[in-house]
Amino acid sequence: MYLSFLFGFLAGFLDLSSSFVIAPRAVGPKSSLQALPADDDHDLALMTAFTNRYAKVSNTYMCSEPSVTAVVIKGLADHKATLGAPLCPCRFYEDKEAEVKVGYWNCPCVPMRERHECHCMLFLTPDNAFAGESQEISLEDVKTHGNV
Protein backbone atom coordinates (compact mmCIF):
# COMPACT_ATOMS: atom_id res chain seq x y z
CA MET A 1 0.00 0.00 0.00
CA TYR A 2 1.39 3.36 -0.93
CA LEU A 3 1.55 6.08 1.66
CA SER A 4 1.34 9.80 1.08
CA PHE A 5 4.09 12.44 0.77
CA LEU A 6 5.27 15.78 -0.76
CA PHE A 7 7.62 18.78 -0.77
CA GLY A 8 7.50 22.46 -0.13
CA PHE A 9 8.07 25.54 -2.24
CA LEU A 10 5.74 27.08 -4.74
CA ALA A 11 6.67 25.74 -8.14
CA GLY A 12 7.13 29.19 -9.60
CA PHE A 13 9.81 30.06 -7.06
CA LEU A 14 11.72 26.83 -7.41
CA ASP A 15 14.52 26.28 -9.90
CA LEU A 16 14.16 22.62 -10.74
CA SER A 17 16.61 22.68 -13.62
CA SER A 18 19.51 21.77 -11.36
CA SER A 19 19.95 19.12 -8.71
CA PHE A 20 18.76 20.18 -5.32
CA VAL A 21 17.97 18.86 -1.90
CA ILE A 22 15.03 20.17 0.04
CA ALA A 23 16.23 21.50 3.35
CA PRO A 24 14.10 20.76 6.39
CA ARG A 25 12.11 23.67 7.73
CA ALA A 26 11.32 24.43 11.32
CA VAL A 27 8.28 22.51 12.49
CA GLY A 28 5.81 24.38 14.61
CA PRO A 29 2.71 26.53 14.53
CA LYS A 30 2.42 28.87 11.59
CA SER A 31 2.14 32.57 12.24
CA SER A 32 -1.44 33.79 12.54
CA LEU A 33 -0.45 36.71 10.29
CA GLN A 34 0.12 34.48 7.25
CA ALA A 35 -2.69 34.42 4.71
CA LEU A 36 -2.39 30.69 4.04
CA PRO A 37 -4.92 27.88 3.86
CA ALA A 38 -5.23 25.45 6.75
CA ASP A 39 -1.95 23.59 7.44
CA ASP A 40 -3.17 20.41 5.73
CA ASP A 41 -4.22 22.27 2.60
CA HIS A 42 -1.11 24.45 2.57
CA ASP A 43 1.39 21.59 2.60
CA LEU A 44 -0.81 19.56 0.27
CA ALA A 45 -0.97 22.48 -2.19
CA LEU A 46 2.81 22.95 -2.00
CA MET A 47 3.51 19.29 -2.62
CA THR A 48 0.99 19.14 -5.48
CA ALA A 49 2.62 22.18 -7.12
CA PHE A 50 6.06 20.65 -6.62
CA THR A 51 4.95 17.33 -8.13
CA ASN A 52 3.47 19.01 -11.20
CA ARG A 53 6.55 21.14 -11.78
CA TYR A 54 9.09 18.38 -11.15
CA ALA A 55 7.29 15.96 -13.49
CA LYS A 56 7.56 18.48 -16.31
CA VAL A 57 11.18 19.43 -15.62
CA SER A 58 12.30 15.80 -15.25
CA ASN A 59 10.22 14.61 -18.25
CA THR A 60 8.44 12.04 -16.11
CA TYR A 61 4.77 11.12 -15.86
CA MET A 62 2.41 10.28 -13.07
CA CYS A 63 0.96 6.84 -12.54
CA SER A 64 -2.00 5.90 -14.74
CA GLU A 65 -3.93 5.20 -11.52
CA PRO A 66 -4.57 8.66 -9.95
CA SER A 67 -4.99 7.25 -6.43
CA VAL A 68 -1.33 6.15 -6.42
CA THR A 69 -0.18 9.68 -7.22
CA ALA A 70 -2.62 11.25 -4.75
CA VAL A 71 -1.69 8.99 -1.84
CA VAL A 72 2.03 9.60 -2.36
CA ILE A 73 1.50 13.36 -2.51
CA LYS A 74 -0.55 13.22 0.69
CA GLY A 75 2.21 11.25 2.38
CA LEU A 76 4.82 13.80 1.33
CA ALA A 77 2.61 16.62 2.60
CA ASP A 78 2.16 14.83 5.93
CA HIS A 79 5.92 14.42 6.30
CA LYS A 80 6.48 18.03 5.26
CA ALA A 81 4.08 19.16 7.98
CA THR A 82 5.33 16.85 10.74
CA LEU A 83 9.04 16.51 9.92
CA GLY A 84 9.72 19.74 8.05
CA ALA A 85 10.77 17.93 4.86
CA PRO A 86 9.07 15.72 2.26
CA LEU A 87 10.55 12.40 3.35
CA CYS A 88 9.59 9.54 1.04
CA PRO A 89 6.40 8.00 2.47
CA CYS A 90 6.91 4.65 0.78
CA ARG A 91 9.72 3.43 3.00
CA PHE A 92 10.07 2.33 6.61
CA TYR A 93 12.44 4.32 8.82
CA GLU A 94 13.72 3.49 12.30
CA ASP A 95 14.24 7.22 12.90
CA LYS A 96 12.45 9.58 10.51
CA GLU A 97 14.03 12.72 11.97
CA ALA A 98 17.51 11.32 11.37
CA GLU A 99 16.59 10.36 7.80
CA VAL A 100 15.36 13.89 7.11
CA LYS A 101 18.72 15.28 8.22
CA VAL A 102 20.61 12.89 5.94
CA GLY A 103 18.41 13.98 3.02
CA TYR A 104 18.87 10.87 0.88
CA TRP A 105 15.16 9.98 0.90
CA ASN A 106 13.80 13.55 0.86
CA CYS A 107 11.76 13.98 -2.31
CA PRO A 108 13.06 14.02 -4.93
CA CYS A 109 15.29 11.32 -3.50
CA VAL A 110 18.81 10.61 -4.68
CA PRO A 111 17.79 7.62 -6.87
CA MET A 112 15.23 9.84 -8.61
CA ARG A 113 17.63 12.73 -9.12
CA GLU A 114 20.47 10.52 -10.33
CA ARG A 115 18.74 7.71 -12.25
CA HIS A 116 15.06 8.66 -12.63
CA GLU A 117 14.08 5.78 -10.33
CA CYS A 118 11.07 6.62 -8.16
CA HIS A 119 10.20 3.83 -5.73
CA CYS A 120 6.82 5.49 -4.99
CA MET A 121 5.74 5.51 -8.64
CA LEU A 122 5.16 9.26 -8.42
CA PHE A 123 7.59 10.14 -11.21
CA LEU A 124 7.65 7.52 -13.96
CA THR A 125 9.68 7.52 -17.14
CA PRO A 126 7.65 7.44 -20.37
CA ASP A 127 8.65 3.82 -21.05
CA ASN A 128 7.33 2.58 -17.69
CA ALA A 129 4.28 0.32 -18.10
CA PHE A 130 2.47 2.15 -15.29
CA ALA A 131 3.11 5.67 -16.60
CA GLY A 132 0.02 7.62 -17.46
CA GLU A 133 -0.24 10.42 -19.99
CA SER A 134 -0.32 13.24 -17.47
CA GLN A 135 2.39 15.36 -15.92
CA GLU A 136 -0.10 17.21 -13.77
CA ILE A 137 -2.67 16.54 -11.07
CA SER A 138 -5.03 19.07 -9.50
CA LEU A 139 -5.26 19.72 -5.78
CA GLU A 140 -8.89 18.64 -5.91
CA ASP A 141 -7.92 15.33 -7.53
CA VAL A 142 -5.32 14.77 -4.82
CA LYS A 143 -7.96 15.37 -2.15
CA THR A 144 -10.52 13.16 -3.92
CA HIS A 145 -8.27 10.22 -4.87
CA GLY A 146 -5.96 10.39 -1.86
CA ASN A 147 -8.45 8.97 0.62
CA VAL A 148 -7.69 5.31 0.01
As annotated, the active-site residues are: 90
Q: How much is the pTM?
A: 0.74
- With a CB cutoff of 8 Å and minimum separation 6, the contacts of 122 are 5, 51, 62, 63, 68, 69, 72, 73, 107
**Rounded Cα gap, residues 139 and 6, in angstroms:** 12
Half-sphere exposure of 76 (CA within 13 A, CB side): 31
Distance CA 28, CA 18 (A): 29
pLDDT digits (tens, 9 = 90+) for 95-122: 999 999 999 999 999 999 999 999 999 9
Bridge partner residues of 136 (DSSP): none
